[in-house]
Amino acid sequence: MTTAADPAARNRPEGHMNGGRALAEMLRLSGAGPMFGMGGFQLLPFYDALSRLGLRHFLINDERCGAFAADAYARVTNRPGICDGTLGPGATNLVTGLVESLNGGIPVVAIAGDTNRAHSWKNMTQECRQAEILKPAVKELIRVEQTSRIPELTRRAFAIATSGRPGPVLLDVPEDVCHGSHDFTAEDFAIDPTTLSIPARRIRPDRADIERAARLIAAAKRPLLLVGGGIHLSQGYAALQALAEAQSIPVAHTMSGKGGIPCTHPLNVGLFGRYARIANELIEASDCLIVVGCKLGEIATKRYALPPRHIPIIHLEIVAEEIGRCFTPEVALWGDARAGLEDLAETLADNAARHRSARADYVAEIPRRMAAWEEEASPRLNSRDRPVHMARLCRELNRALPADAILVADGGFAGHWTGLLYDTKKSGRHFIPDRGFASIGYGLPGGIGAAMAAPGTPVVALTGDGGFNMMLGELETARRAGLGLTIVVVNNAASGYVKALQHAMMGGRYQSADLSEMDYAAIARAMGVGSIRVEDPEQLGPALAQGMAERDRPTVLDVIVTRDPGQMLPAVDNRTLEIKQGDRVA
């Protein structure tokens, strides 16, 4: 952390200042982007300093949304997202959003005000054991006990958020620490530039393990790469594509891993797990699986039924203790995804041409299988049904969104349908589902964070009506921020996933699964944002184009989709689906 490596060193403040200002100065020097939060008494000096320093901070209408927006901002920029809440309910409202970031490995620095320690534990207003409540929701909770230590501990928060497997860090700041002051020196405000974006540092897997893995891959006739969200955290795109192409190894991905290589790349075989095009059958027939930055969790494995246990697994993973949790790998590669992929490619390079020709028939299967899938799915993908079929909506998104667009997908059907059918045209974070925690409600605030992270890039947020109901207030935030965000509400007048499961499992007895018929276009209009009601699938393309053309105000597309619970599950016509009690096929 030399001064030379710290370009912000020249701008360091010094002198007598309060804790809130010291915190704001550290965020300024860290180049933090827009922040999302809701104030209260405890953090007032921080807010005042943000204003004086001209930092961008957006009042949100629910702290959970601030955490979601910060999460999406971080996914797009690879820099820690910043959010804050006041003590008590402000802090506890952060929990769901922080768990999303924790499970997704997303770097976030969250700030919570806490009670004045002169009066703590005297039933202060809004007092609760917030540190205990928030601790398991974050990678690290740092309680700041001295005003003088604010710069040091903010630096620590960035270092933890961006190192190893990234994650959220909470700075818990008592009121007296924030309002109290200290004589700071310029040196106090040092920044470690390597910790301002992910991955802070890279670690390579052990050489002997790489060689064992390379031998396994070299001997395989049908190797397959299974890629999770870690590919984004490592930005291992070029390394993944290079290995796949050099060795003729197809790539399947989880919802979070979509975009490791473009979906339109000939070696991309699409989503695997609970829903899949052709990837699951390729897994079944594989003789070597290379799992990259993927936890092999419930959905990726169809509740641990995939992959079959006899197929050897090479597991490349940054968190050592994740290895072996759900499946025992033949070879464990502990390290950064990009570094591990590069090392595998290099070790296998000499025989690349031989491997490619040996796998020519294997790779030639992919377009044939994809064509067969496409033919079978075609009636749904091209459906002219009114209400709109979800598959048709996905196809229209594929048509309308340009290669650099970002699609944010909410936790319910929105994420599952687009996880299966949305095609990214470039590698990178062009598809953002909240698969860390799969909370509904991420769509709109996630869209806000993504739109702020990528000004000028078309951002479309797809959300269920249930998820949108949770978040309606954030439409006001998006309007105030002047964001040209397109919000597509999947209006099925239902808590659809629940309804579809009740249809399949409970003989069509529905309980607490229906929502009112709502006119979200009218609501959007009343809230002063653009609005289009879409009932005809032919209108989808023009409506998406109109939404994306708006540069400085959000547009809500209220898309009326199927109300038939037998047609709601992705790629399954569950009028014919039979699920036994306890099964989890959907």
Q: Is 442 a residue that touches ligand TPP (CB under 6 A)? A: no
Name the residue among 489, 488, 485 with its Cα closest to residue 553. 485
DSSP letter, residue 54: T
Number of other CB atoms surrounding residue 279 within 10 Å: 24
Q: How far is the CB of 439 from ligand TPP (least distance, A)?
A: 4
Binding site for Mg ion (CB under 5 A): 464-466, 492, 494, 496
Tell me which of Mg ion, ligand TPP, none is bound by residue 104, counting a contact when its beta carbon lies within the kind-specific cut-off of 5 to 8 angstroms.
none
Q: How far is the CB of 491 from Mg ion (least distance, A)?
A: 7
| Candidate ranges 103-111, 299-307, 328-336, 409-417; the one touching ligand TPP (CB under 6 A) | 409-417
Q: How far is the CB of 100 from ligand TPP (least distance, A)?
A: 10
Coil, helix or strand at residue 468: helix
Q: Is the distance from CB of 525 to CB of 519 less than 8 angstroms? A: no
Q: Is the distance from CB of 358 to CB of 219 less than 8 angstroms? A: no
Q: How far is the CB of 103 from ligand TPP (least distance, A)?
A: 13
Q: How far is the CB of 393 from Mg ion (least distance, A)?
A: 13
Tell me which of ligand TPP, Mg ion, none is bound by residue 335, counting a contact when its beta carbon lies within the kind-specific cut-off of 5 to 8 angstroms.
none
Coil, helix or strand at residue 486: strand
Task: Map residues 488-517 to x or -, x wherever contact with ligand TPP holds by CB under 6 A.
Answer: --x-x-xxxxx-------------------
Tell me which of Mg ion, ligand TPP, none is bound by residue 268, counting a contact when its beta carbon lies within the kind-specific cut-off of 5 to 8 angstroms.
none
* Residue that is written with structure tokens 């954030």 in the block: 474
Q: Is 440 a residue that touches ligand TPP (CB under 6 A)? A: yes
Tell me which of Mg ion, ligand TPP, none is bound by residue 520, counting a contact when its beta carbon lies within the kind-specific cut-off of 5 to 8 angstroms.
none
Task: Specify the residue, 22 or 271, whose C-beta has the smaller distance to ligand TPP.
Answer: 271
Task: Specify the residue, 70 or 87, whose C-beta has the smaller distance to ligand TPP.
Answer: 70
Q: Is 255 a residue that touches ligand TPP (CB under 6 A)? A: no
Q: How far is the CB of 494 from ligand TPP (least distance, A)?
A: 5
* Sign for the pseudo-dihedral over CA of 126, 131, 134, 140: positive
Q: How far is the CB of 313 from ligand TPP (least distance, A)?
A: 29
Tell me which of Mg ion, ligand TPP, none is bound by residue 498, counting a contact when its beta carbon lies within the kind-specific cut-off of 5 to 8 angstroms.
ligand TPP
Task: Specify the residue, 312 or 436, whose C-beta has the smaller distance to ligand TPP.
Answer: 436
Q: Is 413 a residue that touches ligand TPP (CB under 6 A)? A: yes
Task: Specify the residue, 223 or 466, whose C-beta has the smaller distance to Mg ion.
Answer: 466
Q: Is the distance from CB of 38 to CB of 90 less than 8 angstroms? A: yes
Name the residue among 79, 86, 33, 44 with its Cα closest to residue 62. 86
Name the residue among 250, 335, 241, 328 with its Cα closest to residue 285. 250
Task: Specify the residue, 17 or 490, whose C-beta has the smaller distance to ligand TPP.
Answer: 490
**How many chain residues are in contact with ligand TPP, going by CB under 6 A?**
18
d(CA 479, CA 464): 20
| Candidate ranges 238-246, 251-259, 277-285, 432-440; the one touching ligand TPP (CB under 6 A) | 432-440
Give backbone dihedrals phi and psi of 548, rounded to 5 degrees, phi first.
-70, -20
Task: Specify the residue, 279 or 414, whose C-beta has the smaller distance to ligand TPP.
Answer: 414
Task: Specify the residue, 45 or 412, whose C-beta has the smaller distance to ligand TPP.
Answer: 412
DSSP letter, residue 137: G
Tell me which of ligand TPP, Mg ion, none is bound by residue 574, counting a contact when its beta carbon lies within the kind-specific cut-off of 5 to 8 angstroms.
none
Q: Compute the CA torsion angle 59, 64, 69, 71 (nearest 10 deg).
A: 140
Q: Is the distance from CB of 66 to CB of 445 less than 8 angstroms? A: yes
- Residue in the shown chain whose Cβ atom is closest to ligand TPP: 464
Task: Specify the residue, 87 or 559, whose C-beta has the smaller distance to Mg ion.
Answer: 559
Q: Residue 137 corresponds to which tokens in the numbers above?
A: 């929701």
Name the residue among 41, 16, 59 with its Cα closest to residue 175. 41
Q: How far is the CB of 474 from ligand TPP (least distance, A)?
A: 14
Task: Map residues 462-481 to x or -, x wherever contact with ligand TPP holds by CB under 6 A.
Answer: --xxxx--------------
Q: Is 97 a residue that touches ligand TPP (CB under 6 A)? A: no
* Long-range CB contacts for residues 327-331, cutoff 8 Å, separation at least 24: 327/296, 327/301, 329/291, 330/216, 331/209, 331/212, 331/213, 331/216
Q: How far is the CB of 529 from ligand TPP (least distance, A)?
A: 20
| Candidate ranges 227-235, 410-418, 424-432, 478-486; the one touching ligand TPP (CB under 6 A) | 410-418
* Long-range CB contacts for residues 538-543, cutoff 8 Å, separation at least 24: 538/384, 540/388, 540/392, 540/393, 540/396, 540/400, 541/396, 541/399, 541/400
d(CA 287, CA 362): 12
- Residue from 241, 256, 427, 439 that binds ligand TPP (CB under 6 A)? 439
Going by their DSSP bridges, the two strands 459-464 and 485-491 should be labelled as parallel
Residue type, 375: E
Q: How far is the CB of 496 from ligand TPP (least distance, A)?
A: 2
Name the residue among 248, 534, 480 with its Cα closest to residue 364. 248
Tell me which of ligand TPP, Mg ion, none is bound by residue 440, counting a contact when its beta carbon lies within the kind-specific cut-off of 5 to 8 angstroms.
ligand TPP
Q: Is the distance from CB of 341 to CB of 235 less than 8 angstroms? A: no
Q: Residues in the site for ligand TPP, rule: CB under 6 A?
A: 411-414, 438-440, 464-467, 490, 492, 494-498
